[in-house]
Amino acid sequence: MSAISVTHLGKTFGTVRAVDDLSFTVERGTLTAFLGPNGAGKTTTLRMILGLVTPTEGTAVIDGVPYRDLERPVSTVGAVLEATAFHPGLSARTHLEALRVAAGLEAGRVAHVLEQVDLTGAADRRTKGFSLGMRQRLALASAMLGDPEILILDEPANGLDPAGMHWLRSFLRACVHRGRTVLVSTHVLAEIGQIADQAIIIGTGRLAWQGPLTSRTDLEELYLEVTR
Amino acid sequence: MNRLIRAELLKARANRVTWVLTALAPVMCVAWAALMVLLPEADGALPGRRAESVYSMAQQAYVFTLLLGVLGTAGENRHRTITWQFLVSPRRGRVVGAKLAAYGIVGALIAVLSGLATLAAGLLMMGAAGQEAWSPRAPAVLLGSMLAVTLYGTFGVALGALIRNQVAAVAVALVWFMYADYLLVSFLPDLGRWLPTGAARALGGMPLQGSELLPVWGGGLLFAGYVAVIVIAAHALTLRRDIT
């Protein structure tokens, strides 16, 4: 069974057709780049997979099950959606601790994920003072809390400086090395082209191209070609 | 469900706003109690009537539990942390249920604190003023007021779930309980007992501008009914909306 399968997915917001008859699968243990211009429907698609947005038609399932019906959602899928989504008055540790308690995970997980994303030193500061890069790492820490096999990341490279990009690349490589499944949307084609197994490219809500990537694929050329 | 309640309590405890509002609640009650002590005695008032009015001021803590409930719920939308909530618990009704319980608990703590402060201040001030500081109904007034303050916390949660915009939710809560209900009563005194304010006041026997109130149990049930209706409305109208 595929880790993620999206079948004839569609979403209409008012008069806007955000996603239209989109189908694709993400196989276990692969890293899939989810590409497309701004406003192409990437975020909406990822949010439909995660049960946050209700599809107008079609289905999105994880291990064959809709997200809303997963037994232990955060231990199955980790998601990074909005880098800024933290309560400004709470510390990074409290944010993670509240998620950990709500998900019923073991106590050591918070310290572990803070270590994983290099935030241990800033863990007790209010997130109000966090830089964009720190927020991205805290979001990744939140996603890793349940030690999920599947990661869904919406533009995790946004706002990262070169050191942050370097860190993210090794993080994603380590994920793949450990056999995790990653679906990541990004605009940083050169970076993702180096590590992705396959690419899904969408334009105006529809599938434009899907296929495996090899070391000879020029992802940027391909992207510009199919989204023109 | 228990886990979600514990997570809510953890967040409330870690948030400075909770502590500020918790500290202000008893101060507000004591200030109102002092006002009641200073008011001149009405002609022919029954002995102990003043003590009851003084102790019923424990209910003035309501605005703080109401606000905490609203902020704890609508605040998740404002800061967009609702995304994390629904990722952890895709069954959204449970999130609201956990918040109702958590802010009921927070509200109860504030209610007890405010009730004790009102009682202590009342005994001291009425004693100093040489007034009758006790009445057989005083315990019932205090307990009823504390229950009302607790329930206002859940009312805030319900309102915050229905009105997702935090500023709008706070505005509706404050206008509703500080102005709208009183305005309605001044036009239609008979309506008073059926309004949320009247229902809550029936619990602590605090009069509402001369409007006749329901019995204590009736007020409690009616107020809980208001909370239930708003929660059901939130389920039907806003809770299932897309989180974009």
Return the closest-CA partner of residue A196 out of A67, A29, A70, A62: A29
| A105-127 confidence digits (pLDDT tens) | 999 999 999 999 999 999 999 99
Neighbours of B180 (CB within 10 A): 15
User: Number of helices (H) and strands (E), helices first, in chain B?
Assistant: 11, 0
Question: A73: nearest CA in chain B?
Answer: B88
Mean pLDDT computed over every residue of chain B: 93
Question: B7: nearest CA in chain A?
Answer: A98
A97–B80 C-beta distance less than 8 A: no
Question: A13: nearest CA in chain B?
Answer: B242
The confidence score (pLDDT) of residue B111 equals 98
Contact A47, B244 (CB under 8 A): yes
B10–A142 C-beta distance less than 8 A: no
Given a cut of 70, whether residue B43 has pLDDT beyond it is no
Structure tokens at A19: 């996603």
Query: Is A52 an interface residue toward B (CB < 8 Å)?
Result: yes
- Give the bridge partners for A91, in sequence order: A126
3-state secondary structure of B82: helix
End-to-end CA separation in angstroms for chain A: 33
Structure tokens at A218: 């020029």
For residue A51, list chain B residues with Cβ-Cβ distance below 8 A: 86, 90
Query: Is B7 an interface residue toward A (CB < 8 Å)?
Result: yes
| A44-92 confidence digits (pLDDT tens) | 999 999 999 999 999 999 999 999 999 999 999 999 997 678 999 999 9
Contact A95, B88 (CB under 8 A): no
Per-residue pLDDT band for A194 (boundaries 50, 70, 90) equals confident
What sections of A129-218 are H helices per DSSP? 132-144, 162-177, 189-195
This prediction's pTM: 0.93
Average pLDDT over residues B107-117: 98
Query: Is B19 an interface residue toward A (CB < 8 Å)?
Result: no
Using CB atoms, pick whichever of B11, B90, B242 lies closest to residue A94: B11
A85–B81 C-beta distance less than 8 A: yes
How far is A86 from chain B, CA to nearest CA, in Å? 6
The confidence score (pLDDT) of residue A154 equals 95
CA dihedral (B110, B111, B116, B122) in degrees, to 10, reads 120
**What Rg do the C-alpha atoms of chain B give, in angstroms?**
19
Query: Which residues 6+ apart lie within 8 Å of B229 measured at CB?
Result: none
Using CB atoms, pick whichever of A52, A91, A98 lies closest to residue B83: A52
Using CB atoms, pick whichever of A47, A73, A89 lies closest to residue B88: A73
Lowest mean pLDDT among A91-95, A139-143, A171-175: A171-175
| B156-198 confidence digits (pLDDT tens) | 999 999 999 999 999 999 999 999 988 998 888 888 899 999 9
Q: Which helix (H) or strand (E) holds B136?
A: none
Which comes out higher in pLDDT, residue A157 or B111?
B111
For residue B14, list chain A residues with Cβ-Cβ distance below 8 A: 89-91, 94, 98
Give dist(CA A64, CA A53) in Å, integer: 18
The confidence score (pLDDT) of residue B47 equals 73
Give dist(CA B171, CA B22) in Å, integer: 20
Using CB atoms, pick whichever of A67, A81, A86 lies closest to residue B90: A67
* Share above pLDDT 90 across residues of chain B, in percent, rounded to a whole number: 80
Query: Is B20 an interface residue toward A (CB < 8 Å)?
Result: no
Half-sphere exposure of B203 (CA within 13 A, CB side): 27
Per-residue pLDDT band for B244 (boundaries 50, 70, 90) equals confident
Query: Angle, nearest 10°, between helix axes B138-162 and B49-56?
Result: 30
Q: How are beta strands A16-26 and A150-154 bridged, if at all?
A: unpaired
Mean pLDDT computed over every residue of chain A: 93
Q: How far is CA B26 from CA B32, B109, B121, B181, in A?
A: 10, 11, 10, 23
